[in-house]
């Protein structure tokens, strides 16, 4: 029986990747607040934490493999598949080194982690929830952002395929597409736009915030709240969907 308004993650084992970043950290805080048992990973070290943490660089083959072994020990109920990197370049100048890095993390490692969690959930006969972090960039190409947009379109596509394959096992797979969210990633994005579009530092960030229909950049907690809903049993009839958390930027 649903208790309207209550989201409870008590006892759920939740794995978060990209844990040191803006959205990852906020999602961990929200998961913990609602009783989840959190396991988290990032390539960077995190200090003063209350949850189980391991440092893995998911672009390094041996560390990715160690992470996959760790997943088989953790046996998560929920995956927040969030680690990713951004780079800029049009089809005329985006190079293959950038392609390998972006596809290596945003698609290859993303896929390997989703697959390892799905296999563990199937073996455990657990009704799990997989939440993949896509982007508004996955819904349409951008002239200067060829590789990143393509990686996030792949995240949306894998979400749909995985959701259909895992539905008989009662494992739900959804994606969240953040719009422009004020995190450390945006400092990097802003600097790249300053270079490519010859803008002042901070100018692009102000412009994209103003252009959001709701009038401001999203905050990490906006994404975390959507993740809470998708992680919980309150969303038990929702699968194969991509939820845009973007203040109205993408119309679907």
Ligand X SMILES: NC(=O)c1ccc[n+]([C@@H]2O[C@H](COP(=O)([O-])OP(=O)(O)OC[C@H]3O[C@@H](n4cnc5c(N)ncnc54)[C@H](O)[C@@H]3O)[C@@H](O)[C@H]2O)c1
Positions annotated as catalytic residues are 148
Does position 21 interact with ligand X (CB under 6 A)? The reply is: yes
CA distance 159 to 147: 19
CB of 36 or CB of 176, closer to ligand X: 176
Determine the residue with CB nearest ligand X: 21
- Of 97, 208, 246, 84, nearest in space to 149 by CA: 84
The DSSP element (H or E) to which 14 belongs, if any, is strand 13-17
Q: Which residues contact 146 (CB under 8 A, 6 or more apart)?
A: 89, 90, 91, 94
30: closest CA among 135, 143, 131? Answer: 131
Q: What is the DSSP string of 145-178?
A: BHHHHHHHHHHHHHHHHHHHHHGGGT-EEEEEEE
Which member of 82, 129, 159, 174 binds ligand X (CB under 6 A)? 82
User: Binding segment for ligand X among 92-100, 174-182, 194-202, 227-235 (CB under 6 A)?
Assistant: 174-182
* 76 vs 178, beta carbon nearer ligand X: 178
Nearer to ligand X, 177 or 232 (CB): 177
Least distance (Å) between residue 59 CB and ligand X: 4
Q: Is residue 247 a contact residue for ligand X (CB under 6 A)? A: no
**Contact call for residues 177 and 171 (beta carbons, < 8 A):** no
Binding flag, residue 22, ligand X (CB under 6 A): yes
* Minimum CB distance to ligand X, residue 3 (Å): 30
Among 74, 185, 227, 230, binds ligand X (CB under 6 A): 185
Minimum Å gap between C-beta 123 and ligand X is 25
For residue 16, count CB atoms less than 10 angstroms from its CB and return exposed for 0-12, middle for 13-18, buried for 19 or more. buried
**Shortest spacing between CB 155 and ligand X, in angstroms:** 8
Task: Single out the residue of 16, 38, 58, 118 in contact with ligand X (rule: CB under 6 A).
Answer: 58
CA pair distance 209, 216, nearest whole angstrom: 5
Residue 85 interacting with ligand X (CB under 6 A): yes
- Candidates 23, 28, 121, 130; binder of ligand X (CB under 6 A) is 23
Residues in CB range of 12: below 8 A, 6 or more apart: 35, 36, 37, 77, 78, 231
Q: Output the smallest distance, CB 54 to ligand X, in A.
A: 11
Q: Does 31 bind ligand X (CB under 6 A)?
A: no
Cβ–Cβ < 8 Å for 88, 130: no
Q: Which of 35, 127, 141, 184 binds ligand X (CB under 6 A)?
A: 184
Residues near ligand X (CB under 6 A) are 18, 20-24, 42-44, 57-59, 82-85, 105, 133, 135, 178, 180-181, 183-186
């Amino acid at each position: 029986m649903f208790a309207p308004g209550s989201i409870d993650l008590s006892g759920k084992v939740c794995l978060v990747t990209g844990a040191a970043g803006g959205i990852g950290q906020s999602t961990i805080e929200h998961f913990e607040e609602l009783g989840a048992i959190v396991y988290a990973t990032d390539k960077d070290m995190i200090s003063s934490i209350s949850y189980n943490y391991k440092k893995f660089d998911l672009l390094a083959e041996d560390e990715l493999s160690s992470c996959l072994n760790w997943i088989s020990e953790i046996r998560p109920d929920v995956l927040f598949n969030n680690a990713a990197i951004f780079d800029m370049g049009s089809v005329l100048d985006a190079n293959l080194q950038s392609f390998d890095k972006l596809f290596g993390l945003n698609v290859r490692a993303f896929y390997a982690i989703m697959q390892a969690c799905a296999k563990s959930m199937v073996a455990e006969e657990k009704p799990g929830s997989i939440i993949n972090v896509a982007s508004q960039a996955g819904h349409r190409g951008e002239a200067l952002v060829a590789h990143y947009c393509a990686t996030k379109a792949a995240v949306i596509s894998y979400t749909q395929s995985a959701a259909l394959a895992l539905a008989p096992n009662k494992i739900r797979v959804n994606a969240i597409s953040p719009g422009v969210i004020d995190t450390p990633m945006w400092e990097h994005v802003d600097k790249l736009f300053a270079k490519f579009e010859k803008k002042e530092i901070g100018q692009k960030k102000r412009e994209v915030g103003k252009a959001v229909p709701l009038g401001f950049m999203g905050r990490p907690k906006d994404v975390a709240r959507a993740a809470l809903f998708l992680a919980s049993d309150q969303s038990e009839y929702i699968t194969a969907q991509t939820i845009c958390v973007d203040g109205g930027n993408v119309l679907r």
